[in-house]
Amino acid sequence: DKLILPEPCPRSHPSWFGYLMTCREGVSRNRVTQFLEERGVQTRTLFAGNILKHPCADELHASSRYRIAGNLSNTDRVLNQAFWVGVYPGLSEAQISRIADTIIKALEREETEE
């Protein structure tokens, strides 16, 4: 209930290289990722989301070569609240369990921060 998790498409068999998680409202991505990083679980933000808020879009703002469809609330959510951890196929069950346990602890800690 603290994270939005990815769901594979029906009849697909993805080989995840990273596992994306999006923090729900009230959960601090910064606190969660800091907790994970301090315990040796590397995280990355997703270079996506609302691309118009990235510095690479500065040239677009000066032109009319793009259009905006809707209010971009989902792209803003991804930009501000999503992160991923690496889960390449070479991880052992013990490593996967350690990552999962650390994520759970980070989220439990968030409950005490609210």
pLDDT (tens digit, 9 = 90+) per residue, 30-43?
Answer: 999 999 999 999 99
Of 33, 27, 4, 25, the closest CA to residue 111 belongs to 27
Q: What domain count does the chain have?
A: 1
Q: Exposed, middle or buried: residue 92 (CB in 10 Å: 0-12, 13-18, 19+)?
A: exposed
Percent of the chain at pLDDT > 90 equals 56
Write the pLDDT tens digit of every residue in 87-111.
888 999 999 999 999 999 999 998 7
- Per-residue model confidence (pLDDT) at position 9: 94
Q: Which domain, by its residues, includes 42?
A: 3-113
Which segments of 1-114 are extended strands (E)?
3-4, 18-23, 43-45, 82-86
Q: What CATH number has the domain bearing residue 74?
A: 3.90.1150.10
First to last CA, the chain: 14
Neighbour count for residue 101 (Cβ, 10 Å): 12
- Per-residue model confidence (pLDDT) at position 111: 78
This model's pTM is above 0.85: no
